[in-house]
């Protein structure tokens, strides 16, 4: 499932293709959205952005298209008329004179009043956004210091978009590893300096992943491994999907396990559970 960095990159792709463009027509597969077809026709797309795992497409008539891809949803941007050979079901299409943005498969799609976005049940409960440029490390550290979040195991808490928005499974495993913290620990188990370090690493790895197209490994190391001929999937991570391979830090074997009900990867030496 795509995480914050992948969704933001997708929003960037859609933005480059559609922002400032006039919509020639819109297709909705869902019956309850048909009434919006005429409302969006000939309108201009004024902004496209991501919030956690949702994409927001704003139009110049005060409406915003909210889409959340769930597990299988997939956006494709193509030149006008060049439909892909796909067996997936088309849920939404935004057409401009020379481009089309197609959204396939299971997705939540809604039309909202831009002025009321913050009242949307998903958006209103999101924690601070790791990929929002206005968010500073102090904001994230302050969130980690709020006692109401201190009793949940980190494997679940860090992926809860209500706590902080933008992390899923791989970012969570990588941030815990680089911070030398076992995934079943709680914020209550950490010292103030460990909490601070974890908060900063969540921010740092999310932003690095966004900027590099998904690399959470140390960048110099990733580059060296790439030059040795390794595939992207084999050099991008520190521990994620590296079960059985040696930890870059200490050489111990990375293990895969279930922590707080979620699958994850750790180095048992760097991240002891005691």
- Specify the stretch interacting with Zn ion by CB under 5 A; choose among 46-54, 79-87, 126-134, 245-253: 245-253
Among positions 249, 255, 257, 262, the unique one binding Zn ion when judged by CB under 5 A: 249
Site membership for Zn ion, residue 78 (CB under 5 A): no
126 or 247, CB closer to Zn ion?
247
β-strand 74-79 against 255-259: which pairing, if any?
unpaired
The contacts of residue 119 (CB under 8 Å, 6+ apart) are none
- C-alpha angle 234/86/110, rounded to 5°? 90
Strand partners, 255: 266
- For Zn ion, what does the binding mask look like between residues 183 and 212, x meaning CB under 5 A? ------------------------------
Closest separation in Å from C-beta 54 to Zn ion:
36
- Specify the stretch interacting with Zn ion by CB under 5 A; choose among 4-12, 73-81, 127-135, 243-251: 243-251
Whole-angstrom distance, CA of residue 62 vs CA of residue 142 = 34
Q: At what angle do helices 192-212 and 169-178 cross, to 10 degrees?
A: 130
The pair of structure tokens assigned to 103 is 């959204």
- Lookup result for tokens 């396939």: 104
- Specify the stretch interacting with Zn ion by CB under 5 A; choose among 81-89, 201-209, 241-249, 257-265: 241-249
164 or 176, CB closer to Zn ion?
176
Burial of 102 (0-12, 13-18, 19+ CB in 10 A): buried
- For Zn ion, what does the binding mask look like between residues 250 and 269, x meaning CB under 5 A? x-x--------------x-x
Pair 249, 217: CB distance under 8 Å = no
The SS3 assignment for 17 reads: helix
Closest separation in Å from C-beta 270 to Zn ion:
3
44 or 249, CB closer to Zn ion?
249
Site membership for Zn ion, residue 270 (CB under 5 A): yes
Site membership for Zn ion, residue 13 (CB under 5 A): no
Which residues are near Zn ion by CB under 5 A?
Answer: 247, 249-250, 252, 267, 269-270
């Amino acid at each position: 499932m795509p995480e914050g960095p992948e969704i933001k990159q997708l929003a960037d792709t859609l933005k480059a293709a559609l922002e400032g463009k006039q919509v020639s027509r819109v297709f909705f597969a869902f019956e309850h959205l048909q009434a919006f077809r005429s409302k969006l026709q000939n309108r201009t797309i004024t902004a496209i952005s991501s919030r956690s795992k949702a994409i927001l497409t704003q139009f110049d008539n005060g409406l915003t298209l909210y889409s959340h891809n769930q597990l299988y949803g997939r956006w494709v941007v193509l030149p006008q008329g060049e439909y892909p050979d796909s067996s997936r079901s088309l849920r939404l299409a935004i057409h401009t004179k020379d481009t089309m943005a197609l959204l396939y498969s299971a997705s939540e799609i809604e039309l909202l009043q831009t002025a009321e976005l913050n009242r949307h049940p998903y958006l209103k409960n999101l924690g601070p956004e790791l990929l929002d440029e206005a968010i500073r490390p102090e904001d994230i550290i302050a969130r980690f210091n709020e006692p109401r979040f201190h009793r949940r195991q980190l494997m679940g808490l860090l992926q809860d978009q209500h706590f902080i928005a933008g992390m899923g499974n791989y970012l969570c495993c990588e941030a815990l590893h680089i911070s030398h913290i076992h995934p079943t620990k709680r914020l209550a188990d950490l010292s103030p300096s460990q909490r601070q370090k974890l908060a900063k690493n969540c921010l740092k790895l999310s932003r690095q992943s966004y900027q590099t197209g998904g690399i959470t490994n140390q960048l110099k190391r990733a580059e060296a491994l790439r030059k040795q001929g390794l595939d992207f999937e084999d050099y991008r991570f520190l521990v994620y999907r590296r079960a059985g391979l040696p930890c870059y830090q200490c050489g111990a074997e990375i293990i895969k396990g279930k922590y707080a009900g979620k699958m994850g990867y750790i180095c048992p030496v760097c991240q002891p559970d005691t």
